[in-house]
């Protein structure tokens, strides 16, 4: 163990944190936005529509993200039409390829997570909302989705952690995020131990923060909290009896 | 594709054996950690928790790189000359470590989900610790763990692709080489995706069968 090298790594590697976080946050955001309508289609859509969404999530979740990344980064250039189109400016850039891959992945995972949440919303709640005269979109926006989101939050936390870890694949298409920086440093210093351990520690702190943040969000959104929450509870729908809504194991 | 078909067949065998070896090792180690976490003293408990936290919080790719390059450095230092760690060995170690980290948590959760009354009843029947694990807690725990455990196997098959980065000639590596030499990346990566998808599908189907054969008791 060379402590000096570890200190060097501790100085150099954090400059890759920015790219890691950019990739993670952007792909999680894009994935979430895409997955909300997809999850509704998957959970409540007509059988054909549900099956179409399932085939998307199944293929994406059944193949390694590395293959998808290489398929987009190297594979698309084989199609002449893609190279001629205006999208080529974006698709030949490793950053956008990585971002696109991660977003597609995150969308597929989040769709399945939210779908399971939507399906475990008790029927009585939606029936009550219907009997109150709410329209279908209102029910989805005000009743079903908030409850489903709370049910899915623990699983979504895992997805956030998975995305932080998955963003390390960007180093395989020449991007210099934390892993990319570490690999570059290793190739010049030939000290794999020190540098990869420091990189691992940085990832560990990032994922720990993500885990803590989801736990805080869970507590903040839970309706049986302290007085502040009870005062605001009027504004948001209360979670039904936890007996009914325990997420699937 | 030409002569790459045979290479893909060999690579498929490499991928499957990598996954099977590391999955079995990871399961054994995870089971051991989960049992020792449930029974032993608090200090060992926190060591196991630290292990699972670190393994689950660090990218798989980084663990593979660390074990491959770090292992080579370590082995060279011990042997006194340059020794290169085999990519397959490094892959097996790295993937077993990852698998065991997740499996520990899955098994621990399943053990906790077996009602305490079962252990008490087994004790009152005069079964010793070994018999309690073998005949009372074990069978119930495994059934409870099955769905989550199956997901681990699916992730494991996908994670094997990462070992190609350190040079193991698995499906991903053959696709990479083929794509480069025949200048047909789309074809080769689509073929690789199809192979991985069929592997995960087979895994998923066998888990579903196992779940149907061994449903969780009392649900």
Q: Which DSSP string do the residues of A115-161 spell out, in sequence order? A: HHHHHTS-HHHHHHHHHTT--HHHIIIIIIHHHHHHHHHHHHHHHHH
Predicted confidence at residue A81, as pLDDT, reads: 79
Q: Check B59 against A165: CB less than 8 A apart.
A: yes
Average of per-residue pLDDT across A196-212: 94
Q: Is B84 helix (H, G, I), strand (E, B) or coil?
A: coil
Residue ranges in chain B modelled with pLDDT below 70:
1-2, 40, 218-219
Cα gap B172→B12, rounded to integer Å: 9
Predicted confidence at residue A77, as pLDDT, reads: 81
The alpha carbon of residue B216 is apart from the nearest alpha carbon of chain A, in Å, by 11
Cα gap A169→A94, rounded to integer Å: 11
Predicted confidence at residue B75, as pLDDT, reads: 85
Predicted confidence at residue A118, as pLDDT, reads: 94
Q: What percent of chain A has pLDDT over 70?
A: 89
Q: Which DSSP string do the residues of B149-211 spell out, in sequence order? A: HHHHHHHHHHHGGGGGGGT--SHHHHHHHHHHHHT-HHHHHHHHHHHHHHHHHHHHHHHHHHH
Highest mean pLDDT among A60-69, A77-86, B133-142 belongs to A60-69
Cα gap A24→A162, rounded to integer Å: 10
The alpha carbon of residue B39 is apart from the nearest alpha carbon of chain A, in Å, by 23
For residue A28, give every residue at least 6 positions away whose Cβ sits within 8 Å of its Cβ, in sequence order, or none: A106, A159, A160, A163
Predicted confidence at residue A197, as pLDDT, reads: 93
Residue (of A128, A167, A153, A150) closest to A27 by Cα position = A167
> Is A78 or A96 the better-scoring residue by pLDDT?
A96
> Is A225 or A103 the better-scoring residue by pLDDT?
A103
List the single residue in B with minimal CA-CA distance to A204: B57
Given a cut of 60, whether residue A240 has pLDDT beyond it is no
For residue A111, give every residue at least 6 positions away whose Cβ sits within 8 Å of its Cβ, in sequence order, or none: A34, A35, A38, A39, A42, A53, A56, A57
B164 CA to centre of own chain = 16
Average of per-residue pLDDT across A188-211: 92
Cα gap B117→B127, rounded to integer Å: 14
Given a cut of 50, whether residue A249 has pLDDT beyond it is no
Given a cut of 80, whether residue A248 has pLDDT beyond it is no
Cα gap B177→B184, rounded to integer Å: 10
- B177 at A interface, C-beta within 8 A: no
Residue B192 is nearest to which of A67, A186, A191, comparing CB atoms? A67
- B12 at A interface, C-beta within 8 A: no
Predicted confidence at residue A189, as pLDDT, reads: 87
Q: For residue A242, what pLDDT band results from cuts at 50, 70 and 90?
A: very low
pLDDT digits (tens, 9 = 90+) for B106-131: 999 999 888 889 889 999 999 988 88
- B66 at A interface, C-beta within 8 A: yes
pLDDT digits (tens, 9 = 90+) for A15-54: 999 999 999 999 999 999 999 999 999 999 899 999 999 9
Predicted confidence at residue A244, as pLDDT, reads: 40
Find out whether A54 and A42 touch, Cβ atoms under 8 Å. Answer: yes
**Model pTM score:** 0.88
Q: For residue A3, what pLDDT band results from cuts at 50, 70 and 90?
A: confident
Predicted confidence at residue B149, as pLDDT, reads: 94
Given a cut of 90, whether residue A226 has pLDDT beyond it is no
Q: Check A193 against B73: CB less than 8 A apart.
A: yes
List the single residue in A with minimal CA-CA distance to B203: A62
Predicted confidence at residue A233, as pLDDT, reads: 46
Cα gap A194→A182, rounded to integer Å: 10
Predicted confidence at residue A80, as pLDDT, reads: 77
Count residue pairs from A and B with Cβ separation < 8 A. Answer: 131
> Is A133 or B82 the better-scoring residue by pLDDT?
A133
Cα gap B98→B105, rounded to integer Å: 12
Predicted confidence at residue A239, as pLDDT, reads: 45
What ipTM does the predicted assembly reach? 0.90
For residue B204, give every residue at least 6 positions away whose Cβ sits within 8 Å of its Cβ, in sequence order, or none: A62, B150, B154
Predicted confidence at residue B203, as pLDDT, reads: 95
Cα gap B169→B163, rounded to integer Å: 9
> Cβ-count burial of B191 within 10 angstroms (0-12 exposed, 13-18 middle, 19+ buried)?
buried
Q: For chain A, what is the mean pLDDT?
A: 87
């Amino acid at each position: 163990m060379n402590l000096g090298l570890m200190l060097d790594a501790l100085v150099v590697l954090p400059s890759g944190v920015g790219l890691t976080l950019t990739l993670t946050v952007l792909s999680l955001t894009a994935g979430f936005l895409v997955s909300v309508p997809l999850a509704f289609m998957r959970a409540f859509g007509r059988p054909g529509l549900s099956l179409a969404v399932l085939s998307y999530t199944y293929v994406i979740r059944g193949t390694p993200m590395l293959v998808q990344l290489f398929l987009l980064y190297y594979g698309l250039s084989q199609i002449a039409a893609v190279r001629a189109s205006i999208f080529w400016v974006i698709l030949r850039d490793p950053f956008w390829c990585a971002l696109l891959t991660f977003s597609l992945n995150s969308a597929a995972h989040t769709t399945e997570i939210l779908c399971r949440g939507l399906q475990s919303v008790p029927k009585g709640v939606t029936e009550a909302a219907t009997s109150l005269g709410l329209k279908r979109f209102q029910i989805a926006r005000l009743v079903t989705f908030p409850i489903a989101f709370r049910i899915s939050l623990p699983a979504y936390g895992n997805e956030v952690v998975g995305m932080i870890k998955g963003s390390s694949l960007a180093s395989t298409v020449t991007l210099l995020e934390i892993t990319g920086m570490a690999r570059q440093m290793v190739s010049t210093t030939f000290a794999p131990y020190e540098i990869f351990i420091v990189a691992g520690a940085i990832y560990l702190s990032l994922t720990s923060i993500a885990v803590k943040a989801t736990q805080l969000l869970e507590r903040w959104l839970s309706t049986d909290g302290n007085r502040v929450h009870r005062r605001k509870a009027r504004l948001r729908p209360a979670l039904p009896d936890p007996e009914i809504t325990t997420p699937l194991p | 594709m030409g002569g790459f078909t045979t290479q893909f067949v060999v690579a498929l065998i490499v991928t499957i054996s990598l996954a099977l070896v590391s999955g079995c090792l990871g399961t054994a180690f995870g089971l051991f950690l989960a049992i020792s976490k449930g029974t032993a003293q608090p200090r060992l408990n926190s060591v196991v928790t630290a292990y699972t936290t670190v393994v689950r919080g660090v990218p798989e790719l980084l663990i593979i790189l660390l074990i491959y390059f770090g292992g080579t450095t370590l082995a060279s230092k011990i042997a006194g000359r340059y020794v290169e760690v085999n990519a397959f060995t490094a892959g097996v170690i790295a993937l077993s470590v990852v698998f065991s980290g997740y499996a520990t948590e899955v098994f621990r959760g399943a053990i906790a989900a077996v009602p305490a009354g079962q252990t008490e009843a087994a004790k009152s029947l005069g079964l010793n610790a070994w018999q309690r694990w073998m005949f009372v807690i074990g069978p119930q725990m495994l059934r409870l763990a099955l769905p989550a455990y199956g997901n681990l196997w699916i992730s494991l098959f996908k994670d094997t692709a990462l070992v190609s980065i350190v040079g193991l000639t698995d499906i991903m590596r053959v696709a990479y080489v083929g794509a480069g030499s025949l200048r047909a990346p789309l074809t080769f990566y689509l073929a690789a995706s199809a192979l991985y998808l069929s592997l995960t599908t087979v895994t998923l189907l066998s888990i579903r069968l196992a779940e149907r054969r061994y449903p969780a008791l009392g649900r």
